[in-house]
Chains A and B, each alone.
Chain A
Amino acid sequence: MKRLKCTQVKRIVTLQEPAAWPIGLRDAIEAHMADCPSCRRELALSDLVREALRQTPTYRAPAGFAPSVMGKIAEREILRSRRWPHRLVAWSNARAVLAAAAVAVMLVGSTLVYLRYQGDVMPSPPVGHGGVHVPTYYPNPRSEVGQVPPEAKGEMDQSPRGDASLVEQLIFYHEQAALHEIGTDAGILMARGGP
């Protein structure tokens, strides 16, 4: 007959009731139990727990349980049907707000960039008759890059009034630049001996 260890017997008695012990191992389990008080205790305790659990009464669900469940189901279906359009509206609103915000940011950004660099990003300086490069200044009152060099200041007319608005200042400088170009072209023509 096969001899069993305590761990093997304890596993069997913990998992199975005596009636369900493997037939081939039954004699070996009984032989082991006869000499092992620890395994006998294990079996007795397993029986005790099993019995205690099986004798526990079944509780009755509270009164009105089923109608309450059906009410909950109906309630949740109503909530769900209401929730979906709301979610869609909320989502489309959020998308509209996001799109509007993005457009606003782009407009403000492009305006700022325009105002910042519009003096620098002008057409390339004109080339005079005969391939002579004519220096031309496009001053931007808000940009150091576009400042009129001191030596050219004499060629320029007076600056606009100090209290003039930014747009007025811009118009003024553009007009001055145009006049300067005309004057330069006239000077070149005169140097060549007239038109």
Chain B
Amino acid sequence: MNFFLDRASLENKDAKVAKMATLVQRAQAGEREAFGDLVEAHADRIYTYLLHLVGDREEAEDLAQETFVRAWESLDRFRGGAAFSTWLYRIATNLAIDAIRRRQRRGPIQSIDAPVQTDDGELDRQVAGQVPAPDEDLFRQELQRAVWESIRELPPKLQPVLVLYDFEQLSYEDISRVLLIPLGTVKSRLFHARQQLKRLLSAKMPVDEYLSTIRQSSWPPVR
């Protein structure tokens, strides 16, 4: 049964990859409709990726739109050596790093989880897919917010590696293609990013207390 399920899932994945390749080819031939489909297919991932990096919805939307506009403008340069999404991540990452550097020069911005100030008072931000957390998950939710806040405090060149690896779950090889850096540099940046993140996180939250009381470590690993 599992064999058939796996096979079906693989076939589904292959069909998806083939469909994307066709859409890219049609878009490269100048078909706007095909490019529109590519935008639809990648919009959520690119928007979320940018939102986590820049931490501001409007800015993330602008950057995501700019990512696709630039992708369209330089579509003839996409050779298909890597996945289309990898190429989009590369454009998005460059835009995000520029935006982060500009922001760091300007000063701090509002967190994506912070309440929105309106004429009618304060409104909670609505996040797609977010469900009210039960009490036991309160710490985790707080932890997530602190982790993302800490990520945004990292140096601009360390942020994308961490987000691409841990959130987007790209392989080292794919990250190397996205950021155009050697594999060793990816690992080195990831290591430094995680080390710095842990330090920042420990300063923001009582993680040690949580680890000693609530959290079960993955050690010893299950073989």
Contacts and interface: CB of A to CB of B under 8 A. Distances in A.
A17 interface: yes
Contacts of B215: 44, 48
A59 B69 CA distance: 20
Q: Secondary structure of the B side of the interface? A: helix
Contact of B64 (A18, A55, A65): A65
A72 B64 CA distance: 12
B176 interface: no
A134 to B, nearest CB: 82
B39 A65 contact: yes
Nearest to A66: B39
A28 interface: no
Interface residues of B, number: 54
A52 B52 contact: no
Given A11-B191, A41-B208, A56 B167 contact: yes
Contacts of A152: none
A130 B165 CA distance: 106
Nearest to A62: B61
Interface string A20-63: 01000000001001000000111111111110111111111110
A60 to B, nearest CB: 4
Interface residues of A, number: 40
Nearest to B112: A59
A179 interface: no
A61 B194 contact: no
A52 B68 contact: no
B169 interface: yes
Nearest to B150: A49
A88 interface: no
Interface centre among B43, B52, B190, B221 (most CB of A within 10 A): B221
Given A54-B167, A59-B127, A61-B44, A18 B219 contact: yes
Nearest to B216: A44
Contacts of A60: 44, 47, 128-129
Nearest to B199: A45
Interface string B138-167: 001001100110000000000000110011
A190 interface: no
Interface of A: 11, 14-15, 17-19, 21, 30, 33, 40-50, 52-62, 65-70, 72-73, 76
24 contacts: A15-B194, A17-B218, A18-B219, A33-B220, A40-B219, A42-B198, A45-B202, A45-B207, A46-B198, A48-B210, A50-B166, A52-B147, A53-B167, A56-B52, A57-B128, A58-B45, A60-B128, A61-B61, A61-B64, A65-B43, A66-B40, A68-B65, A69-B69, A76-B73
